[in-house]
Amino acid sequence: MILLLCLLCFICGEPAWSLEVQEFTVKEDIQQVAVANNNLYVATVKTLYWWVNLTLDKSPKTAQLPSNVIIHMFLFVKNNRLISCGVNEKRKCYCESRDLKNINKVVSSENILMGPQRSSSGSVSFLVDVKKNSGQTETYILTAIKNHRDKTEEDRCGADLKTINLHNADQKQNGGLFSRLDQSGSSPPGIQTEADVDFVDGFQINSTVYLFSNVASGGKTNKVRLIWFQAETSKSDTLKSLRGATLSSSGGEGSRLLASSVVPGGQQVLWSGVFSVDKGGENTELLLFDISPDLSREANTDPDFYTSVNKPNSSSKPKSLEPKAVLFKKKYMNSVLVVKQDNWMVFFIGTSNGQLIKLPVDKNNRPACPKELHRASGKENVFSKILLDPVDHKHIYLIFKNNVVFFSFFHVACTRLHIRVFLSL
């Protein structure tokens, strides 16, 4: 049966691949990775590496970092800035902005907390574009911070952050760079929760912002939550537009979302998630959902997330979303990325024991033959995020503890895939 299935994959025109491997070196454990325009930025404990135009230049440029924990790092391409936040050697919080074309040039630096105080695990951050009444677009930094009711961390930075916040990404915005103030200048808006929340992923498509999390509320078992925002005319209006849904998997209540990737293009907003369906976390499944936002439901009435100072007495039950398809079941899956190849969706799946698997899925959501593309030496874990270059969509980055695997793919007579590996010293 397996041979027959593979033969059918070939006949139906499954994308073909060829592989090539090259090696590059980095030092220390990787903390954060950011990519844009065929440029790769890797932050370790003390060093920022920059590979310029990866197809031509194999020697990274470097800069020293003032931090021993990098919590956030992302690229603000239209402002030519690399923004990073962390905790420095003196155990003080900071955020700084560097020139994308000269990473040793620090444009601005603030002693400020923007995110969790110890680790990026369970928290996410990304840039959000909000259209103003004037027709102009403002870019903010959304931070969604892991929230546990049992507060064991000391507050080293004196910040009054909410669970979800919007920060300025430009010095010219009201309140200055990294400020949470809104246009009115009153207290900064934010979203709060009383539940234990671990955030998994977030992104923006057109005017809608999507945020995924695992939520355990009131001592109940875990549920996987999606909340939507509409990028309105202000920070406050954007956050108050929140609506929510609960995602189902075969594991029922207690299942956890491990990784996430949106399917590019299409009228429907299709999204894939890796779910752990047992208490041990070994058994995992890849599911496909339609997460198109339902704007007919009343905004800001979610039972887990709210914008008021105190939790409202009344709330509405979130919409329940069932998967369109169960695409793949395999142990130890922990990361996923989807790209489009003609009429196929091609899923790149990482595992916690170091595998990279390619899974083609046709337009009817039927998976073809999975194929192992890469296996790490030893027992290296794949990080829960596989990155795609956001501009040319032709480069994929698979992240391990001490190395990054760089994939470049393009169309010729058939689809070809090239790999470059960044190994630790």
**Chain center to CA of 117:** 19
pLDDT at 379: 66
pLDDT at 245: 95
Per-residue pLDDT of the chain (425 residues; tens, 9 = 90+): 333 444 344 434 566 655 555 556 677 888 889 988 878 899 988 899 998 877 656 678 999 887 677 888 889 988 999 998 888 777 678 889 999 999 999 999 888 878 776 667 888 999 999 988 777 889 999 999 988 654 545 455 656 789 999 999 988 888 888 999 987 767 889 999 988 999 999 999 999 999 999 998 666 788 999 999 999 888 999 999 999 999 998 877 779 999 999 999 878 999 999 999 987 778 999 999 999 999 888 999 999 999 987 787 777 889 999 999 999 999 999 999 999 888 899 999 999 888 889 999 999 999 999 999 888 776 677 777 888 877 777 778 888 888 888 777 654 333 444 444 443 33
Q: How far apart are CA 262 and CA 339, in angstroms?
A: 9
pLDDT at 149: 57
For residue 331, is it within any domain? no
For residue 58, is it within any domain? yes
**CB under 8 Å to 417, separation ≥6 — which residues?**
17, 18, 19, 373, 407, 408, 409
Contact 245, 320 (CB under 8 A): yes
pLDDT at 21: 52
For residue 214, is it within any domain? no
Q: How far apart are CA 398 and CA 284, in angstroms?
A: 19
Closest C-alpha among 255, 334, 324 to residue 288: 324
Q: Which residues pair with 95 in a beta bridge?
A: 85, 110
- Domain that includes residue 47, residue range: 30-111
Q: How far apart are CA 391 and CA 17, in angstroms?
A: 22
pLDDT at 17: 55
Total of domains in the chain: 1
pLDDT at 413: 37
**Measured between alpha carbons, how far apart are the two ends of the chain, in Å?**
44
For residue 187, is it within any domain? no
Q: Give the angle subtended at the CA of 283 by the CAs of 281 and 289, to the nearest 5°.
A: 100
For residue 276, is it within any domain? no
Q: How far apart are CA 232 and CA 129, in angstroms?
A: 9
pLDDT at 3: 37
pLDDT at 130: 92
For residue 291, is it within any domain? no
For residue 70, is it within any domain? yes
For residue 333, is it within any domain? no
